[in-house]
Amino acid sequence: MIQPLQFFLIFLKASLLSFGGLGNLPFLHADLIALGWAQEPDFLTAIAVGQMSPGPSGLWSISLGYLTYGWPGAALSLIALLVPPFLILPLVALYTRVDGHPGVKSFSNGLMLGAIGLLLGTAGVLSGTVITDAWALVIVAVTAGLALTKRLPTIVILLLAALAGVVIYT
């Protein structure tokens, strides 16, 4: 029998100990399997849906919440995902007070360069599973080019990519 409060706290803990994406997976996996509230196939389905569904990839745990505890589970896991991001507000408030000091400004520039590196790194990590053939590389190159020209709305670019997938792989 699932206890709503404990269910929520498990999801909240996982979200507090991770930085988005699948970072909360190990915690949820350990806790929910131990309690017998979720089974392995629930995780596989939730991860697959999370890759397809819109929005941040961290939303995969909403899918897991639904699979294990229906609509209340989806709602509780959404709330658990919304709480930790608020910790950014005090950090930014603190940072704004020291920003403008020359030393902080250089530090900040280093942070930004590092953040761009992380973004490229994310693309690198993703490409390990996503780029399985030459066509995938072509799609990467063409979409990057189309996005840089800023002529097409992003949804059109994604739809064209979906269409390309259908034409190439069926």
Residues sharing a CB contact under 8 Å with residue 114, sequence separation 6 or more, in sequence order:
none
60 burial via Cβ count (<10 Å: 0-12, 13-18, 19+)? buried
Position of tokens 């699979």?
A: 67
Interior CA angle at 28 toward 22 and 34, to 5°? Answer: 150
**According to the binding rule CB under 8 A, does residue 170 interact with another protein?**
yes
Residue-level length of the chain: 170
Shortest Cβ 104–another protein spacing (Å): 8
- Among 35, 57, 72, 152, which residue interacts with another protein (rule: CB under 8 A)? 57
Shortest Cβ 33–another protein spacing (Å): 19
- Among 10, 32, 38, 62, which residue interacts with another protein (rule: CB under 8 A)? 62
Stretch that binds another protein, among 3-11, 15-23, 31-39 (CB under 8 A): 15-23
Q: Where are the alpha helices (DSSP H) in 60-133?
A: 60-82, 88-98, 102-130
Cβ closest to another protein, residue 30 vs residue 83: 83
Shortest Cβ 103–another protein spacing (Å): 6
Rounded to the nearest 10 degrees, the angle between the axes of helix 25-35 and helix 40-52 is: 150
- Among 28, 63, 69, 76, which residue interacts with another protein (rule: CB under 8 A)? 63
By CB under 8 A, how many residues form the interface with another protein? 98
**According to the binding rule CB under 8 A, does residue 158 interact with another protein?**
yes
